[in-house]
Chains A and B, each alone.
Chain A
Amino acid sequence: MMDRMPTDQAQANAVFVAHGLTKIYRMGEVEVHALRGIDLTLNRGELVVLLGPSGSGKSTLLNILGGLDAPSGGEVRYLDHALTDASEAELTRFRREHVGFVFQFYNLIPSLTARENVAAVTEIAESPMRPEDALALVGLGNRLDHFPAQLSGGEQQRVAIARAVAKNPAVLLCDEPTGALDSATGVVVLEVLEKVNRELGTLTVLITHNAGIADMADRVIRLSDGRIADIHANAVKKAAHELSW
């Protein structure tokens, strides 16, 4: 399959452009080819689902896009910056200014309240939204001063989303955000992601091995064995509340 968008328009809208990305892990004497040549463009405002079984390379790809890992070969650009050549300090600044992360296990700071978890990030961001607004966006305007231990799993994940979007990032990277949640709670979290994507226009990349979630994406990228097996655009996006698994 090919990206059918005209080149100049693609250039104008592209947030990430990757060419020939490879990643080889050396585990003792065994080489693991996690990525075997990925070409990919991700655009402004898109909601993209990366789908694939365990070991297909989707997390590796997400980590490289998020500046957490460096590819073994190929190149990846964020807007007009080459991530491939960036130093550790530049990657830290990139994550700080442009990337919002949502983790499978929320990774909230247990010693900070919901508001403060968000504030921890907005305090170091350039033009963030108010923590209260970010929490209102995820429907937790009434849980501002609760500590993680006082919140349910779904609520904790929504705080994590608020924390990720509060700095107004260009991209929101979510690694199995519903992986630790039951389906009803998972749907609520997906609704929040959908809302953020729609209202803030943030490029949202969502990793899952749950094919049911793919129906809410603009585009679905299927990975298998370190290669892109298939990219398809959903003609009709389903709303998150219509999903079930």
Chain B
Amino acid sequence: MRALDRKLFRDLWHLRGQVLAIAAVIMGGVATMVMSLSTYDSLTTTRDRFYSEYRFAEVFASLKRAPEPVAERLAALPGVERVESRVMAGVKLEVEGFSDPITGQLLSLPDVGEAQLNRLHLKRGRSVQPWSSDEVVLSDTFADAHGFQPGDRLAAIINGKRKQLTVVGVAVSPEYVYQIAPGSMFPDFKRYGVLWMGRNALAAAYDMEGAFNQVSLILARGAHEQDVIDRVDAVLGTYGGTGAYGRKNQFSNRFLSEELKQLQTMATVFPAIFLGVAAFLLNVVLSRLIALQRDQIAILKAFGYPYLAIGAHYVKLVLLMAVLGVAGGVALGAWFGQGLSNVYMETTFRFPYLDYRLNAGVILVALGISAFAAVSGTLFSVARAVRLPPAEGMRPEMPVAYRATLVERIGLQRWFSAPTRMILRHIERRPLKSLLTVLGIACACGLMMVGNYQKGAIDFMVDVQFKQSAREDLALAFIEPTSGRALYELAALPGIYFVEGFRDVPAILRFGHYEHRAALFGIQPEGQLHRSLDRTLQPVALPPGGVVLTDHLANKILHVKPGDMLTVEVLEGRRPVLQVPVLGITKQYLGVSAYMQQESLNALMREGSTMSGAYLAVEPGTEAELYARLHERPRVLGMVANKAAIQSFYATIGEFILFYNLVATLLAGAIGFGVVYNSARIALSERGRELASLRVLGFTRGEIAYILLGELALLTLAAIPVGFLVGIGLVGILIVAFQNELYRLPLLLTPENYAMGAAVVIVSALLSALLLWLRLGRLDLVAVLKTRE
């Protein structure tokens, strides 16, 4: 080994504490990046493979009812490659020993041959036998939530008639990677299930013999999706079609895409912060190392080592630290990535398999970015070392010039002891370095706050959604729009103490070239249960005659403001196209909605007082009995109980929160400790001689520790409020980056968030202080008498 390389490893070993601290920071950045990118790659690859292997359709359409030959007409349309018609039915399910309402989606499987599109992947059991009358395949989420095995039985109320079903298999489908009941906010595996049964049996039970009410299709090569959608709509219009849509509006796929987009955001924002901090640390440590080695560099140059060799020596040193960090980061990131992918697989997305993928490209990018950050961070110091003339390098450095600080110059000096003045002057002499240290520590604080932000934010969103806005205990959907008189019958049921009807109409909202598929919700203008909220989250009365949009829908999707005229293409009944004024904008964190007064909506639809469902307030304790009664009512299609929905949501999201908290704590801790410990170690190596001199002069260890740790404490304390600002800023970035149709995060930081941010900084500082205190005990007092700097 060449002598210079040997020196390299000795220096690394000598600096091991700092090397580890720096590597930890790089590791943090790389781990977040690898975790996010590998999870992103894995989920994308898995999705694409699953979609193509199981023939996920490209265009979907629902309709009221069409005779089977209509499907052949669709197949003959230009741009259509393959068509499959199905029968789809909303059902109520009964599971023994479970009294909460369960809704389900029942889909037909062809009795002859295999499904052409949206094929099932069987996890257990088998598919239904042709022409069987009672066999079903269950979605795995629902089966797992209730522990169903092939051979078990359950009952479904199809079209008002109870039917006993036998489970023969458990499957996942590309159509239901993300499963959520229509109209509900979160997945609830216990209370919503997807089932597949033979076409013949389902059609018989649902009065759909020789007919279909759902169709999926795949486009021919080169076909334009929108053209095909228009053609399909033209055909299905007379059969009660509710408008065909492509994959991007298919609910499961849309949610999956949103989630993947967020992963990508995470893969850019957070590693950038970590690597920035790492570059700063490397810069500081390297400048110091080079200052300490200036005589060695001078001697090497005097020996005739070329500048390039010496420069390369230090670049290698930095790169080794970076490689160490990257190696650790890739390992940790792959571990986190697998963990995160599994959390996704268990809680959110159902794929038959997971192609966990750590692309070499990701590793190379991590290495490239880290090396760039490290080298650019140190280039200046290295260049300075290389430029130093040998003779100058071998002379001792002049005493560093200090001056009285600002606080002293304005006349406060008499309040400070000599040690305190030393602290203040040392900070003020290198304002940039002090500032960067403060910023580095602040980043740790901010990251910790972001990591712990979600819990409070979700609590807040849930509170706003379910305590302020959708306050009903139970939302009931009727099988079809029903006269308002149905409300009186409901109100008479024991256990219900308040009823509020609603009307919802599927529609496409258009403004200019912007459009959105949604339901127009007709609710009560001054409703007690379901209310819309203004900017300050106060309930507002809905004005008559127009539509009120939630903020995200108005501002980000449709780009309308109050006073604009919205084109509403109703997808129900005679499918009128209407012009409706926008009357206001309301605040909503979950989902997007378009609200009207129910009466105004009825008027628009040219119908009498008509309801699609009702919101109920239920007396506590009467739920089970009430659910059973409602379940018996043939006109009730389904029920969503909010409390249960929230609980199941917390159960799913809990794992995510825990995972992110763990990752954030580890990474923020790494940064916090990395910055504080390095700053402290550098301060010690810069001032070790000074402090040892003071020890010789009779200062106690505590007194010199005050000088060293006092500076650290001051910078740490200054960093905490700055860290709060960084945290708020990062949360702001997160909110902007993550806002989507499904939810918008609120800018809300709880006292606990601030406390956690401050805690990670303080704990890092205390740990560093402890290590430093131990080092101060080993100061060589005799050496300072003899050696110059």
Give the interface of A toward B (CB within 8 A): 59, 63, 66, 68-69, 89, 92-97, 99, 101, 103-105, 107-113, 116-117, 119-121, 123-124, 147-150, 156, 163-164, 175, 180
Contacts and interface: CB of A to CB of B under 8 A. Distances in A.
30 contacts: A59-B782, A59-B785, A63-B782, A63-B785, A68-B782, A68-B785, A69-B782, A95-B697, A95-B698, A96-B698, A101-B785, A103-B784, A104-B786, A105-B789, A107-B690, A107-B785, A109-B690, A111-B402, A111-B426, A116-B421, A117-B418, A120-B419, A124-B703, A147-B399, A147-B401, A148-B399, A149-B400, A149-B402, A150-B401, A156-B399
Given A107-B693, A111-B429, A120 B418 contact: yes
A171 B401 CA distance: 32
B411 to A, nearest CB: 14
A145 to B, nearest CB: 8
Contacts of B695: 92
B14 interface: no
Contacts of B786: 59, 104, 175
Interface residues of B, number: 35
Interface of B: 398-404, 417-419, 421-422, 425-426, 429, 689-690, 693-701, 703, 781-782, 784-789
A124 B698 contact: yes
A110 B402 contact: yes
Nearest to B429: A111
Contact of B421 (A63, A107, A111): A111
A149 B399 contact: yes
A153 to B, nearest CB: 10
B697 A101 contact: yes
A149 B398 contact: yes
Contacts of B417: 123
A123 B787 CA distance: 27
Given A105-B787, A123-B418, A175-B785, A163 B696 contact: no
A103 B695 CA distance: 13
A69 B781 CA distance: 9
Pick from B400, B693, B697 the residue with the most CB of A within 10 Å: B697
A195 B257 CA distance: 86
Nearest to B396: A105
Contacts of A103: 693, 696, 784-785
B418 A105 contact: no
A112 B697 contact: no
Contact of B399 (A95, A108, A113, A119): A108
Nearest to B401: A149
Given A103-B693, A124-B698, A112 B785 contact: no
A52 B479 CA distance: 109
A245 B731 CA distance: 72
Contacts of A156: 399
Contact of B422 (A97, A112, A180): A112
A124 B697 CA distance: 10
A109 B693 contact: yes
B64 to A, nearest CB: 85
Contacts of A93: 698
A117 to B, nearest CB: 8
A108 B696 CA distance: 12
Given A103-B693, A109-B694, A123-B418, A68 B781 contact: yes
B437 to A, nearest CB: 17
Q: What are the 5 A-B residue pairs with the smallest beta carbon separation, nearest first?
A: A96-B698, A120-B418, A107-B693, A149-B401, A95-B698
A61 B678 CA distance: 37
B422 A111 contact: yes
Nearest to B404: A113
Contacts of B788: 105, 180
Contacts of A121: 697-698
A94 B789 CA distance: 27
B395 to A, nearest CB: 13
B698 A97 contact: yes
Contacts of B429: 111
B302 to A, nearest CB: 23
Contacts of A68: 696, 781-782, 785
Contacts of A150: 401
Contacts of A66: 696
A125 B103 CA distance: 84
A101 B418 contact: no
A103 B700 CA distance: 19
A116 B418 contact: yes
Nearest to A150: B401
B425 A111 contact: yes
Contacts of B399: 108, 110, 147-149, 156
